[in-house]
Amino acid sequence: MVTIIPNGHSLSNAAVSRKLTTMTSTNIPPAPARGPADHDVRDQIVAAATEHFSRYGYEKTTVSDLAKAIGFSKAYIYKFFQSKQAIGELICANCLREIEADVSAAVAEASQPPDKLRRLFKVSTEASLRLFFQDHKLFEIAASAATENWQAVISYEERTRKLLRDVLQEGRETGDFERKTPLDETVASIHLVMRPYLNPLLLQHSMDSTDRAPALLASLVLRSLSP
């Protein structure tokens, strides 16, 4: 009896057993990771799961369906991920990292804090639209993440607030932004203004305004920040 792995090779059960035995246990990420941390295999599972979820949808797919689709046993998948949600969280985190990379690059290209804030609004919305809505099936993962407040979403929002705080702090130091309002209050307020264009559940109800809202809201915020 053989086991088929996603790269197209066939291994006997004995060979699979030897492979598992030699897997290193280093660099195991925090939950939801579980068992031996063979990053190549984990990446294969995530890549295959992304394709499968994209085709059939996240909610309708079970771990058993996924195991059959990628040629692994259900038990083998559970050595790396404790649940379907754990796989979904990693896929969601990967998507959010793409958004962050786009936003950070755009902000870094601006030289003045007001321009950085405008780009933060604009590119965050554009990147969210592109990643959340270019594949409606994968949007189900983003919707589940937002509805159930997955850790990937919590961490993403924390990093977004951190970037916003850095821009505001720089603007205060250059004299572009007022300094009377407590910084934490300013960050929280602006993040609430941005949230309808960051959260996938809210964004889908704001589609008719995404072409103009980021610029309008950024201008409004910048006027409120005038020293």
CATH number at residue 106: 1.10.357.10
pLDDT(218) > 50: yes
| Owning domain of residue 116 | 86-224
63 falls within a domain: no
Residue 143 lies in a domain: yes
Given this model, what pLDDT does residue 169 score? Answer: 97
Task: Find tokens 């309002």 and name the residue.
Answer: 181
CA distances from 193 to 13, 23, 57, 224 (A): 55, 47, 31, 12
In a domain? residue 66: no
Q: What's the pLDDT band for 130 if we cut at 50, 70, 90?
A: confident
Please state the domain count of the chain.
Answer: 1
The answer, yes or no, to whether residue 23 has pLDDT greater than 60, is: no
> How confident is the model over 48-56, as a mean pLDDT?
84
Whether residue 168 contacts residue 227, with contact meaning beta carbons closer than 8 Å, is answered with no
* Residue 64 resides in a domain: no
Mean pLDDT of the region 50-70 = 84
Tell whether 98 is covered by a domain. Answer: yes
Mean pLDDT, residues 124-147: 79
State yes or no: pLDDT of 119 exceeds 80. Answer: yes
Q: Does residue 200 or residue 189 have the better pLDDT?
A: 189
**Mean pLDDT score, 167-182:** 97
Residue 175 reports pLDDT greater than 70: yes
Residue 67 lies in a domain: no
Mean pLDDT of the region 156-170 = 95
35 found inside a domain: no
Structural domain includes residue 38: no
- pLDDT tier for residue 38 given thresholds of 50, 70 and 90: low
Question: Which pLDDT belongs to residue 8?
Answer: 44
Average pLDDT, integer, range 28-37: 43
pTM given for the model: 0.73
> pLDDT higher for 34 or 192?
192
Q: What is the 3-state secondary structure (H, E, C) of the chain?
A: CEEECCCCCEEEHHHHHHHHHHCCCCCCCCCCECCCCCHHHHHHHHHHHHHHHHHHCCCCCCHHHHHHHHCCCHHHHHCCECCHHHHHHHHHHHHHHHHHHHHHHHHHHCCCHHHHHHHHHHHHHHHHHHHHHCCHHHHHHHHHHHHHCCHHHHHHHHHHHHHHHHHHHHHHHHCCCCCCCCHHHHHHHHHHHHHHHCCHHHHCCCHHHCCCHHHHHHHHHHHHCCC
